[in-house]
Amino acid sequence: MRYIFHYNKPSEQFLDIDFIIEGNKEKELDVQLSAWRPGRYELANFAKNIRNWKATDENGNELFFKKVKKDLWNILTNGASTIKISYNYYAAELNGGSTWLDEKQLYVNPVNCCLFLPSRMDETCTIELKVPENYEVAIGLEKIGNKIFKAKDFHELADSPFIASPTLKHQNFECAGVNFHIWFQGLDFPDWNKLINDFKPFAEEQVEMFGDFPVKDFHFLFQILPYPIYHGVEHITSTVITLGPEYDIFKDHLYTELLGVSSHELFHVWNVKMIRPLEMMPYNFTAENYSRLGWVAEGFTTYYGDTMLFRSKVFSEQEFFKTFNQQLKKHFDNAGRFNLSVGDSSFDTWLDGYTPGIPHRKTSIYTEGCLVAFMLDVIIRRNQNNEKSLDDVMRGLYHQFAKSSKGFNEADVKALIETAAGKAMDDFFADYVYGTKDFRPLLDDCLDYLGLEITEKPSAKFIESHLGIKAIEETEKSIVKIIHRNSVAENSGMMINDAIVAVNGYKVNNNLNEWCAYLFEHKQEIELTVYAAQKEKKLKMEMKAGDIYFKNYELKKKEGLSENQKDAYKKWAGR
């Protein structure tokens, strides 16, 4: 299978792709485009970006074809042994999992735009890039010619994004016999010493935990943009990470995010690229791949991504606690945790996993899975006198399943956890994986084992802490997006997407929070003027002393720790 990428006017953002099929012996061929991409468990409908689809034989004669599904074509081959399919792909989206073309770069995720034959997915694929000679190519595939690369099969091709550009910045480092590459597109002044001094320790920590790395070369592909963005997508030999704005990349907040997403995506090489739910072994690119194990794939990776930075001393204790605090806030702010389990939320990522969805319906597999991983880690450590941990479960999944190209199921991961913990975990799974039991008591218990505790204080935003609403500020109005259950706002009759335009008759203009806090401070009643469905209504906020809704949560070390707590913390934190 051969793919040729070329284009004439990059400003039009149409990428021309030739898909050449050789050795055909069939009278009819079904030709498929992926319906989704691994790393984002929702249908993407990439076929909407295709135009001018046609098929010809080796002599240039057009072949009859018809579209039989939204992303499936059928060709009558007329006995042709070589068939060329040509089409334009609109490359106008720039994120960690997209395809983009402009005058500065060609960036491709092949899973978006490369057709394949379902009956011949195991055959070798080559890609040829017809780009300017001064373009360098950042890619995880084997190079076999001038801008020609080879994949062992379509699965490897689909999992191998690339950036071709004359402005790529590149550096590499070696760790445990693996060559790690760092590529930047869109960043003019990388601080290579800082990057490598931080990347190498967390890479070493992860390789040491699993015992080896699945590939010999790995590429961090960074797309740095001039506006705020945060996105990362995992692959077996690379990751694509989009961050911005460029001028903040090496400032504390965004650089911490850069390290966090980089460690997270590297951990994914083992957990989900190698250690994969049975339902996704191999991927079915044509439809949903339903699984209740997203809490392992994404949640465990969220936990370990930051934990590896902490253990390797790239993150300070304060920096790690800050990331954990963020998970706590996401968890406690989401009333959906009482309505849908993390196991069922994993299944439903295909339904609404990447949108807010209806109020209080679901949980986040990232956040809930992260906290489940933490609790399991501590339970195992406590039961085994700190001689075993969740690390043993991950190693079991890798060495017993992934390295034998076997997928794991729900019973498999439960059995490994029970073996590591030395006890049955039926109640834990029933309550916290497949049920909606409140995490707080067990979280407190696990934290206490490490000498830690959660402290609470009201959200710094008055409307969140005292009224129970989260809103987006727009010119001359604030749009209500989240309402806390049983809050003043909910009891007043406020609804999602209400537009608050005034407080006690004062028009709001990006200052709703300030007006409400000011009036409350001076013991004034608060009446909000709200528009809902283009109708005005006035809502009185009848607050009660001491009622606090949205809060901030912070980890801190307890006073007067026992020797057991000190020892448990040291072994958990690796410091």
* Residue 510: both structure tokens together: 């990006």
Chain position carrying tokens 């009278």: 27
Q: pLDDT digits over 183-241, tens only? A: 999 999 999 999 999 999 999 999 999 999 999 999 999 999 999 999 999 999 999 99
pLDDT at 426: 98
pLDDT at 534: 84
User: Alpha-carbon distance 253 to 196, whole Å?
Assistant: 18
Which residues, at least 6 apart from 162, have a Cβ–Cβ distance to it below 8 Å?
Answer: 107, 108, 129, 137, 138, 139, 140, 141, 149, 221
pLDDT at 194: 98
- Given CA atoms 361, 365, 370, 375 in this order, what sign does their dihedral have? positive
Q: Which long-range contacts (CB under 8 A, 24 or more apart) does 146-150 make?
A: 150/124, 150/125, 150/126
Residue 483's nearest CA partner among 457, 462, 463, 458 is: 463
- The per-residue pLDDT of the chain, averaged, comes to 97
The Cβ of residue 422 has, within 10 Å, a number of other Cβ atoms equal to 10
**Domains, the chain, ordered by start:** 2-165 (2.60.40.3650), 168-253 (3.30.2010), 271-453+568-575 (1.10.390.10), 462-541 (2.30.42.10)
The Cβ of residue 289 has, within 10 Å, a number of other Cβ atoms equal to 18
Whole-structure pTM value: 0.96
pLDDT at 8: 96
pLDDT at 533: 85
Q: pLDDT digits over 47-92, tens only? A: 999 999 999 999 999 999 999 999 999 999 999 999 999 999 999 9
User: Alpha-carbon distance 381 to 369, whole Å?
Assistant: 18
pLDDT at 356: 87
Q: Could you tell me which residues are beta bridge partners of residue 242?
A: 223, 231
SS3 content of the chain, % helix, strand, coil (to 5): 35, 30, 35
Q: What are phi and psi of 545, to 5 degrees?
A: -60, 130
| Low-confidence stretches of the chain (pLDDT beneath 70) | none
User: Alpha-carbon distance 13 to 33, whole Å?
Assistant: 19
Amino acid identity, position 60: G
